[in-house]
Amino acid sequence: MADKISIFSQNCQGLANPQKRRSVFRHIRLKKYNIICLQDVHIQKLQESYIKSEWGYNIYFSCFNNSSRGVMVLLNNNFEHEVERVYSDINGNYIILDINIEGKKFTLVSLYGPNDDKPNFYKEIRQKYNAFQNDKIIICGDWNLVINPDLDTNNYLHINNPRARQEVLNMINEEDFVDIYRELNGDKREYTWSRRNPVRKQARLDFFLVNDDCFPYTSEAKIIPGYRSDHSGILLELVLNTNERGRGYWKFNNSLLKDQQYVNVVKNTISEVKQTYQINNEENNIDNQEEFSINDQLFLETLLLMIRGNTIKYSSQKKKQRQEQENKLEHDIKQIEEEVNANFLNMPDDVLDELENKKSLLNEIQKEKIEGVMLRSRSRYADLGEKPTRYFFNLEKRNFTSKVIHKLVNEEGEEVSDTSDVLKCQTNFYKSLYSEVETDNSISIQTVLGDNEIKLSDEESQELEGELTHSELAYALRNMKNNKSPGLDGFTVEFFKFFWIDVGQFILRSLNYGYRTGSLSITQKQGIITCIPKPNKPRINLKKLEAYIFIECYI
């Protein structure tokens, strides 16, 4: 099993000449690249079988003619892989592979961008690779445009292919792609193409885009000297045996609150937990409060834990049932359509009605699915169609994938990429950042506040002390924003508002127990610090805080 997978890409300026082609193939073999993407190969379709024999391993073509265009993807035999699907552009400008690399599936696009300004070219590619329905996408090649004219061009008077460039920027923003070279190399100025006459110009026209699902696997992206071409080569390295990212934190699905069966599950869970820990001691119960065999903090922790477990169980069962229903409907529709297509004119009306009914049911299931994804992604866009498109599924994951930090510089200035080392680096940084430091005690609070010093009256001070009341908690809950999870248990504000009459008293008792004992519960004291990287900023150095927008804290 290969530790790293290397993907090499280059505009080779024609390989129709047999001598040049064999020379390029030998060069590639010596480099031992795993995947080779070549553009502008000038190969005719009738030459494909002959060139495959020259290479000796698998090659996939998008041919045009022997004087222009053409794209090839060559696969070496030095890594485990299986190509499951291929789409080849008839105009010789791009090819798309659905490739399984050592157990992980990728969609790989190798393209040769038009020299003129054709935004529809990139719209077409976007449509084609989305049809593959893969999470991990890599696009490479000679784009004939640049992402950042300020960093990626030298001595250009105008932006090359501006409308096509804008379409690529739209693709990057809407589908969570990153320019991996810029992400890993910061503001470094390097170019993949140059021209001396009549005016010297340089540009980084060749680059890789990877989506955020693919980003954690990338270890290196660089520009390397080209071979028999005026374009440099570009190289991307993937580390596939990296530790997988965890599933993240569970969050309650608010749509369950509309499900009466689920509501009954929660209410029954509350009754069962109360019965388990309740003590029958009515004589000494002055406040008419239920007494439990465990303290109020532990009771609330146990109650929410049981509700969460039953919620996950209920949601999983419901999801499985919906999936089975969807699969059956798709199977039935396919069978009926085959019958209709074979004998449409003589098909009874009731069969056609059944077909329409099943299609309607299937559309409702798919609509419910995409609404759930949109809810979790907080997307407000509802005009991209009713089916669960990959766009919305990407939005759902955006909040997680955009925060991935797979490599950091530690205190010694060394780059670390192992998951445990990255976590240790983060822990040390924030432990130091939030540690106690000496301050200038000579500055009094009066100096800071000046004439604006405000003091509470004795009565106001007394009101702020003491235990919380049920009305105070209810007021605070009513004023909390919806679609937020106030704690690490994942339950939303909407959940607590809906079940307040059932769980409000136990939350109040838990908080007041903490007031009396001087300590909150373990989960109430836990928190998360989440770094939010700024767009187009390297994520490698925590000390360079300008790379981060803000820090989210949940405590």
Query: What string of H, E and C letters represents the secondary structure of 415-429?
Result: EECCHHHHHHHHHHH
Helices (H) and strands (E) in the chain, counts: 17, 21
Local confidence band at 527 (pLDDT 50, 70, 90 cut-offs): confident
> Distance (Å, rounded) from C-alpha 94 to C-alpha 67?
16
Interval 290-294 mean pLDDT: 90
Task: Pick 441 or 205 by higher pLDDT.
Answer: 205
Q: What is the DSSP letter of 138?
A: E
Structure tokens at 47: 């030459």
Local confidence band at 11 (pLDDT 50, 70, 90 cut-offs): very high
* Secondary structure (DSSP) of 331-363: HHHHHHHHHHHHSSTT--HHHHHHHHHHHHHHH
Strand 35-39 relative to strand 4-11: parallel, antiparallel, unpaired?
parallel
Statement: residue 366 has pLDDT above 80: no
Structure tokens at 147: 């992402």
Statement: residue 164 has pLDDT above 90: yes
Q: Which residues contact 38 (CB under 8 A, 6 or more apart)?
A: 9, 10, 11, 12, 15, 24, 71, 72, 73, 74, 110
Interval 143-170 mean pLDDT: 94
The segment with the largest mean pLDDT, out of 265-274, 360-369, 482-491, 540-549, is 265-274
Statement: residue 388 has pLDDT above 60: no
In terms of C-beta distances under 8 Å and separation of at least 24 residues, what long-range contacts does 200-203 make, across chains too?
Answer: 200/155, 201/153, 201/154, 201/155, 201/156, 202/153, 202/154, 202/155, 203/146, 203/152, 203/153, 203/154, 203/156, 203/160
**Chain centroid to CA 273: how far?**
37
What is the three-class DSSP state of 10?
strand
Amino acid at position 284, single letter: N
Statement: residue 332 has pLDDT above 70: yes
